[in-house]
Amino acid sequence: MIIKNRNVLLSHGNVAGRRIVLDIMEAGLTAPDPYENTKKVVRLENGKLILGHPDFSQPPGQEPVVYHLKDIRSIYVVGGGKAAQKMAKGLEDALGDLITTGQVNAKKGESVILKRINVTLAGHPIPDSDSVTGAARILEIEKGAREGDIVFWLNSGGGSALKALPAPGIMLEDLQEIYRILYFGCGASMPEANAVRNLLTVVREKHPKHVRGATLVQLLTNELPRRLRVHMPAAASTNEYERAIQVLNKYHIWDKVPQSVRTFLNKADPAYLRPTPDELKQRPYYIYQVMGPEYLIDAAEAKTREMGLNTTVLATSLNDVEAKPVGSIIAAIAQEAEVLGRPLKPPCVFLCGGEVVVPIGQETGVGGRNQELVLAAAARIAGSDNIVIGSVDSDGTDGPTDVAGGIVDGLTAERIRQSGFDLAEEINRHNSNPILRALNDTIFTGNTGNNVRDLRVIYVSQSQSG
């Protein structure tokens, strides 16, 4: 079972509704494992290495690439992220001792499951010295690859912290501060945060700049769905350094970030930009997306239909908006169904994916986006006999806490009051974790080794009078 404390979560509250929500979550969280898809993309057949599969090629429809084993000098595996080990395990099992060496950076708390490829357990969401050490080893392997070699680059969410090798003139402490300010302080969106921090590191998104001559194969566990075109707000500038500075000014933090960061961004060294089209052509380069959030949502949706429930997906990828209003909105949708039978008639389930944000500013509360979201929903569904709402991070850790998320129902608000907490005050302090812990309503999975953002399950049962 992915959800480790299921029995505790079913010991109180709307038990029947909670059981349904947890069953759906279990199905969803089990699905986004990239191991099998990796083995479909990379396989050995009759003395040949076959790369590619019609379901995973980027762009779609790309023909498989065939290499005779006798023509391959060395095979290297590098990368980092919360799903990197599972992709690497697929490569180990597909290629065995054909792998020369490798380096993967995974999140502290994961179990090491690789045998041929070295694993460094590093810091996330704030990078640490192990992030630097592992990233330096990745860079060494990439720069040592030559024509006739194949370098597999395993890319998944979390890599910005796990592979944080500071650019010259920037100390690890400077990176840690900029990550704290962007991630916790101002609640910058992921594209905005990446616009800054990707420039400040040597490895992140720059693998094609380091691999010269060798074939580069990116295996990607993406946080955006493969079948959905997501329209992002237009950047104010196409110049990457100008864009980073604009983000820092937008949140009024330019004067708060370390001086080394300001100096680096103002210098605008082109060596640390993303690869240009010409640089991408300097070696054979193939991309295969082996996992995405559609697996999470599709599996959850299939489970609801198997259970005979009316269901719809509100959004596979609802990102970069604040958790508190999203919690209130999904609660309002649930109430609409409960009272008026629209847009779905109960018993029904609404599903939602993506990644919301929590800008904590100067507050010192402890929590995460999923925990804050369900508490905001709890305030609105208070007294309902029919609504249960759960929200979890697919990687198993919600914000800086050790839980995946939380679950609430119509009894939660009263239980919070009886426990001595002021719900509105604690939400404003972004202090969701202590409340849910006190209620035994945090969802615990441990590190899952997957990363396709979040899963929210909103269940509305049929009322007794209906």
Q: For 99-107, what is the mean pLDDT? A: 97
pLDDT attached to residue 187: 81
How do residues 233-248 score in pLDDT, each as one tens digit? Answer: 656 667 999 999 999 9
How do residues 338-392 score in pLDDT, each as one tens digit? Answer: 999 999 999 999 999 999 999 888 888 999 999 999 999 999 999 999 999 999 9
Q: For 66-72, what is the mean pLDDT? A: 96
SS3 category, 302: helix
Q: Which two tokens stand for residue 365?
A: 């509360």
Main-chain phi, psi angles of 251, to 5 degrees: -95, 10
DSSP tag of 391: E
pLDDT attached to residue 172: 97
186-190, 199-203, 303-307: least confident range: 186-190
Residue 256 in this model has a pLDDT that exceeds 60: yes
Query: How many angstroms separate the CA atoms of 22 and 196, rounded?
Result: 37
Q: For 281-293, what is the mean pLDDT? A: 92
Residue 280 in this model has a pLDDT that exceeds 80: yes
Write the CB contacts of 177 (distance below 8 Å, at least 6 apart in sequence): 257, 258
131 in Cβ contact with 123 (< 8 Å): yes
User: What stretches of 200-322 show up as alpha helix (H) in DSSP?
Assistant: 207-210, 240-250, 259-267, 277-280, 293-306
Mean pLDDT for the chain?
Answer: 94
Query: Mind listing the domains of the chain with CATH numbers?
Result: 6-31+294-459 (3.40.1480.10), 35-291 (3.40.50.10180)
Q: What angle do CA 237, 226, 296 make, to 5 degrees?
A: 120
pLDDT attached to residue 191: 87
Q: Within a 10 A sphere around the Cβ of 372, how many other Cβ atoms?
A: 32
pLDDT attached to residue 282: 83
Residue 232 in this model has a pLDDT that exceeds 60: no
166-180, 232-246, 345-359, 421-435: least confident range: 232-246
405 in Cβ contact with 368 (< 8 Å): yes
Residue 205 in this model has a pLDDT that exceeds 90: no
248 in Cβ contact with 114 (< 8 Å): no
Helix 15-30 / helix 293-306 crossing angle, nearest 10 deg? 140
Print the SS3 string covering 272-285: HCCCCHHHHCCCCE
pLDDT attached to residue 236: 61
Give bridge partners of residue 291 from the DSSP assignment.
Answer: 221
Q: What single letter denotes the amino acid at residue 299?
A: A
How do residues 294-323 score in pLDDT, each as one tens digit? Answer: 999 999 999 999 999 999 999 999 998 999
Query: How many angstroms separate the CA atoms of 396 and 29, rounded?
Result: 9
Q: For 280-288, what is the mean pLDDT? A: 90
Question: 141 or 275, which is more confident?
Answer: 141
Question: 363 or 286, which is more confident?
Answer: 286
pLDDT attached to residue 62: 84
Question: 204 or 464, which is more confident?
Answer: 204
The percent of residues above 90 in pLDDT, for the chain, comes to 85
- Provide the whole-model pTM: 0.92
Q: Dihedral sign, CA of 349, 355, 359, 364?
A: positive
Query: How many angstroms separate the CA atoms of 426 and 396, rounded?
Result: 23
Q: For 18-26, what is the mean pLDDT? A: 98
Residue 183 in this model has a pLDDT that exceeds 90: no
83 in Cβ contact with 450 (< 8 Å): yes
Residue 60 in this model has a pLDDT that exceeds 90: no
Q: For 84-92, what is the mean pLDDT? A: 98
Q: Quick one: which of 113, 120, 63 has its CA closest to 90? A: 113
Q: For 59-65, what is the mean pLDDT? A: 85
Residue that is written with structure tokens 């198993």 in the block: 396
Query: How many angstroms separate the CA atoms of 438 and 442, rounded?
Result: 9
Residue 466 in this model has a pLDDT that exceeds 60: no
Residue 277 in this model has a pLDDT that exceeds 90: no
C-alpha to C-alpha distances, 275 to 192, 208, 209, 210, nearest whole angstrom: 19, 7, 6, 10
233 CB-contact burial (10 Å; exposed 0-12 / middle 13-18 / buried 19+): exposed
Write the CB contacts of 339 (distance below 8 Å, at least 6 apart in sequence): none
H/E segment holding residue 418: helix 412-418
Query: How many angstroms separate the CA atoms of 157 and 153, rounded?
Result: 13
DSSP tag of 157: T
